[in-house]
Structure 1
Amino acid sequence: MRLMGVIPIFRMFDEAKAKEFYLDYLGFHLDWEHRFDEGAPLYVQVSKDSFILHLSEHYGDCTPGASIRIAMEGLEEFHQSLTDQKYKFSRPGIERTEWDTKELRVTDPFGNRLVFYEQIDGV
């Protein structure tokens, strides 16, 4: 037996806001979308590099206000790319933690939190 990874699911309520935040602001790629029929809730997969995230309008899939931590390299470069956009709903900073990481926190339009973090060199 071998575990192969995890794909978090975040609840969303507005397709346009979700795409603006995840695709335009954070730079994720839209991998696919699914609806059972024309009026059904949307379920999508977005990704950036090797990180995959599912976004769902389906009631009961998940609860808004969840939080995930995403390990990465190049946090300061990522921060600069977000800052350069002058996105009016989010202007995150970088925090150095007691546990030897640099962290950048953003909250999506639905109250879900993404903590991008990088280990500080030499630790």
Structure 2
Amino acid sequence: MARGKPVSKSLIAVQYIGEVWKDKAPLLLSDPYLRAQAMFWVDFVDKKVYENRKRTWRTKGEEQEAAKREFLECTRLLEEELGDKPYLGRENLGFVDVALIPTYSWFYVREKFGNFSVEAKHPKFIA
């Protein structure tokens, strides 16, 4: 809720929080270019990571295997973007990292029941 009005969709709500309390702990950087990069990765998480994450559970056979490959490719790209930084795109927790929280919580479940491990393929991304 914002001034008594609902803010829908999780990532939009997080963006709203980041903008309202930007002086306390900014989720988005003030530099327009860096902010645009972060928004690119948030969109990537929303459209590619979340979608392929869902497909790893909702499909079977070859379609499920393709979803696993695509999901692992997404995590590879994110791990590459992470580089030697502790967080994606910056030195402290930001919008992209917050967008990934729902995905992190499923890594163990995927390993246990989905027969694939993000950690085995991309350990730096898990750390």
Larger proportion of strand? 1
Q: Do the structures match in fold with TM over 0.5?
A: no
Length-normalised TM-score, structure 1:
0.30
Length-normalised TM-score, structure 2:
0.30
